[in-house]
Amino acid sequence: MRRVISVLLALLLIAAPSVATAAPSYLEPSTPVLIVGSYGVGGSVTAIYPSDDSSISATIDWFADSQKIVATQAKTLYIDSSLIGKTISAKISLFKVGFDPLVVNAVGAKVYQDVASSYGEMGYGDEKVKQPGCFAPRPSGVDSPTVGWSIWFSCQPYNTSFGSPASQKFWWYRNGKLIDGANNISYRLQAADAGQAIWGAYEATYSNGFVFTESKKLKTAIPYQLVLPKPTILGSLKVGTSLVARVAGADKLAALSYQWFSDYAPVSGATSAIYNVQPADLGKAVQVLVTGQRDGYSPTTVLSAPVADPKLQPVNAMAAYSKIYTGYQTSQKNFDITFLTSPNVAAETLSREKSLVQRAADFWSAEYTPAGVTVLYVTKDDATWAEDFIKQQHPSWSNSISGGIRSWIEKNSCGFALAFKADQKQVFIQCVRNGAENSINDQQVGPHEYSHWIQYEQNPALFLGTVPWLIEGQANFYGLALGIAPEDATLKFINTSLAGHATQYDIYNGYKFADFKMLDILQSGNTFDTQILITRGGTVWDQYAIGTLLSEWLVIKYGHQKYVDWMKALLKTKGQNNESERVANAFAFKNVFGFDYSQLGIFAGAYLAARSQQLRDAWADSRKNDLAGPTLNTTQQLAAFAAKSSALNDDQRDWITRRVKDGPIRQVVCSAVYSAKTTAKDLALYKLRARNACAFAKTTLAGIGSSATTSVTVTKSTKNAELGRVNLIFKG
């Protein structure tokens, strides 16, 4: 009995076997079985099958418009003019002793009169391919293929005699079978891929109908994942006692090693399963990081929870921010900064922004004295004015404003800023919000961009390939520290902001919004994955999140000055490519901090894990007042008041604001809930709560230009749990 499979490059369809008296032994090839090549005169098409397996033999029959080409049964079909306009296919029959034959009907594409041509070859490592062509799949952002991280199929179909493709398609195979949903240029390796043969397939179609296809195997073996249970610590935090690390159920073939941490930093020399508690550990987070290694597996680390102790305090990120905003003297010095504004920038807005720049200038005065700096403020309504202003008065700025100033204003709806150098002078353009449109978030922008000026003073080419988080992460940290932290005592806004940046990792990497896969990595305690995050490229949002957290740790443990010294040393010596930059950073980082940059994921790992949980908590708290659906014509319950209190708290105000802005609301009724047993005193308190809720709703509505009315009423209930509550009724 034969098994027949039809393949259209992207699709592997398995035909149901006919009924047989004995169960067949199916041949399952470890590679995709298909045909690939250049479907044009002068090109060729080749059959892909497990040809390197000597136990498998094959016959190949080629077809043009379903008519057999009798001239050849070779692995490769060379295309001549007799095949123009005909669709190429092949019947690939595979045979192996002890198995039923496998027949695959592989359908290709229609032949074009010519092939796309380009100039020469392209190379990567030891691989060279003609253009158009594809390299073998390779890891993306990691040194070797690793489960949980992506590989990508790099193809170059551009700059050909046919121009660029009108469409491109990708597929990924595991042991010859299509992987469900894997149809992008990159593929994130799963646990099931370890030790398996992974192939990528590609198809480019040009506007004239010419088709180019390719399929290649990932060259490097994928290690299995070594799974370690979370360590536990036996013992208590008392001086003179010993703590013992335990990893119950660990792989018996794995070699384990240990590193103890105290106050979110590794303890020098504490590398055994037993740790003797020191006086400096009291009240601190004491944890152990366990590393597991086994041949054929990716090494992994797992971090324990801190030793339980009633005096243990949560990780204190404010220690970093307070060092910054309390670490300088304010001055009245007039720095050489020229402030320019569009006609729509309000006087109070200009005053606010100038004070933030002054704050940054005072803080950074030991590193940088502004000379001939120009700051331009515009609003969201100033695109035309800004275009004309730059064109007529500062044309040299245009080269540093990608896409033009109008695109920045219209796409970002303000709140953005640009910092660059033009004519050897620092320039800073910010789109500001006036009045009620301004939020605390805007206060970080000026200090953020000023921090970039410090970086530009070291090197006008700021891009870093091997420390991708430093430029934006450092600026984001100092922007938060100087612009927001002084008014954010609990870091509520800062933590929510960083969590928001982390959500972009999910979007960019194909996860569900706010799955927090980045935070999963940081909290897992796998410092190898954490180091990958630290050294790989990503979006600017990744850099904000990771870079700010690392900035916090470096400032807490080593101080602001050392952190800045490292940045300056690296930017001054980074070289022209990743290799020279890596060498420069190896020296600069260790010279300042005393350990290798490749160990940063370990050294800061415990801190990153603890902070990641705080970011999750802040995000959940910020979302608790989100709308569950349309507000109009609903009755909703306001969060409960504190006992005997009638004043609205921040959460209640936020809850009301979100709902009255979900218009068009024309009337809000605030109803206080009481019972037959409610005293006159309590009833007065309940009514006051309702009046305060409606008063705030009315003020908020007026602030957005709505003339909606509000009214207060009472509702009688027999349920004790509802007494004292306030319900809001939103009417159209």
In the chain, the percentage of residues whose pLDDT exceeds 90 is 85
Q: Which CATH number fits domain 337-621: 1.10.3470, 2.60.40, 1.10.390, 1.10.8?
A: 1.10.390
Phi/psi at 485 (5° precision): -50, -35
pLDDT at 482 over 80: yes
Q: Name the strands in the sheet holding 337-341, side by side, starting at the edge strand that comes first in the sequence.
A: 337-341, 373-378, 425-431, 417-422
Burial class (CB in 10 A: 0-12, 13-18, 19+), 117: middle
Q: What dotted CATH number matches 121-224?
A: 2.60.40.2700
Confidence tier at 382 by pLDDT (50, 70, 90): very high
Instruction: Look at residue 125 in the predicted model and tell me its pLDDT.
Output: 82
Predicted confidence (pLDDT) per residue in 43-77, tens digit: 999 999 999 899 999 999 999 999 999 888 899 99
Give, to the nearest 10 degrees, the angle between helix 560-573 and helix 578-593.
Answer: 150
Determine contact, residues 214/202, Cβ cutoff 8 Å. Answer: yes
Average pLDDT over residues 586-611: 98
At position 625, the amino acid (one-letter code) is: N
Positive or negative: CA dihedral 390, 395, 397, 400: positive
Confidence tier at 219 by pLDDT (50, 70, 90): very high
Residue 46's nearest CA partner among 93, 79, 8, 18 is 79
CATH 2.60.40.2700 in the chain: give the residue spans.
Answer: 3-110, 121-224, 226-313
Confidence tier at 12 by pLDDT (50, 70, 90): very low
Instruction: Look at residue 22 in the predicted model and tell me its pLDDT.
Output: 53
The encoded tokens of residue 651 equal: 């959460």
Strand-pairing partners, residue 293, are 255
Rounded Cα distance, 515 and 628, in Å: 19
Helix (H, G, I), strand (E, B) or coil at 232: strand
Q: How many CB atoms lie within 10 A of CB 289?
A: 24
The encoded tokens of residue 21 equal: 């008296």
Cα–Cα separations (whole angstroms), residue 86 to 8, 79, 81, 209, 719? 15, 11, 10, 12, 79
Rounded Cα distance, 383 and 633, in Å: 39
Instruction: Look at residue 510 in the predicted model and tell me its pLDDT.
Output: 87
Determine contact, residues 668/639, Cβ cutoff 8 Å. Answer: no
Average pLDDT over residues 366-378: 93
Determine contact, residues 378/409, Cβ cutoff 8 Å. Answer: yes
Cβ neighbours for 79, distance < 8 A, ≥ 6 positions apart? 38, 39, 40, 41, 42, 43, 44, 45, 88, 111
The encoded tokens of residue 376 equal: 């331009």
Rounded Cα distance, 165 and 132, in Å: 10
DSSP annotation of 317 reads T
Average pLDDT over residues 6-27: 48
Q: What CATH architecture is 3-110?
A: Sandwich (2.60)
DSSP annotation of 706 reads -
pLDDT at 671 over 70: yes
pLDDT at 110 over 90: yes
50: preceding bond cis by omega (within 30 degrees):
no
Cβ neighbours for 411, distance < 8 A, ≥ 6 positions apart? none
pLDDT at 558 over 70: yes
Residue 60's nearest CA partner among 47, 78, 41 is 47
The encoded tokens of residue 86 equal: 């005909």
Predicted confidence (pLDDT) per residue in 243-290, tens digit: 999 999 999 899 999 999 999 999 999 999 999 999 999 999 999 999
Tokens 């009907």, residue located = 105
Helix (H, G, I), strand (E, B) or coil at 464: coil
Instruction: Look at residue 451 in the predicted model and tell me its pLDDT.
Output: 95
Instruction: Look at residue 70 in the predicted model and tell me its pLDDT.
Output: 86
Rounded Cα distance, 417 and 339, in Å: 14
Instruction: Look at residue 397 in the predicted model and tell me its pLDDT.
Output: 95
CATH 1.10.390 in the chain: give the residue spans.
Answer: 337-621
pLDDT at 23 over 60: no
- 17, containing H or E segment: none
Average pLDDT over residues 458-484: 95
Determine contact, residues 214/36, Cβ cutoff 8 Å. Answer: yes
Q: What CATH architecture is 634-731?
A: 2-Layer Sandwich (3.30)
Confidence tier at 6 by pLDDT (50, 70, 90): very low
Phi/psi at 88 (5° precision): -90, 140
User: How many helical (H) and strand (E) elements, i.e. helices and strands, does the chain have?
Assistant: 16, 37
The 3-state secondary structure of 575-604, one letter per residue: CCCHHHHHHHHHHHHHHHHCCCHHHHHHHC
137: preceding bond cis by omega (within 30 degrees):
no
At position 84, the amino acid (one-letter code) is: I
Instruction: Look at residue 565 in the predicted model and tell me its pLDDT.
Output: 98
Q: Which CATH number fits domain 226-313: 3.30.70.980, 1.20.1250.20, 2.60.40.2700, 3.40.630.30?
A: 2.60.40.2700
Instruction: Look at residue 17 in the predicted model and tell me its pLDDT.
Output: 43
Rounded Cα distance, 1 and 565, in Å: 74
Residue 263's nearest CA partner among 2, 482, 52, 556 is 556
Determine contact, residues 103/92, Cβ cutoff 8 Å. Answer: yes
Please give the angle made by the CA atoms of 320, 323 and 327, to the nearest 5 degrees: 155
Confidence tier at 460 by pLDDT (50, 70, 90): confident
pLDDT at 490 over 90: yes
End-to-end CA separation in angstroms for the chain:
72
Confidence tier at 695 by pLDDT (50, 70, 90): very high
CATH 3.30.1330.60 in the chain: give the residue spans.
Answer: 634-731
Predicted confidence (pLDDT) per residue in 498-549, tens digit: 999 999 999 998 899 999 999 999 999 999 999 999 998 889 999 999 999 9
Average pLDDT over residues 480-497: 96
Candidate from 5-19, 163-177, 642-656 with smallest mean pLDDT: 5-19
Cβ neighbours for 595, distance < 8 A, ≥ 6 positions apart? 603
pLDDT at 2 over 60: no
With left for phi above 0 and alpha for psi between -120 and 50, is residue 423 left, alpha or beta? left
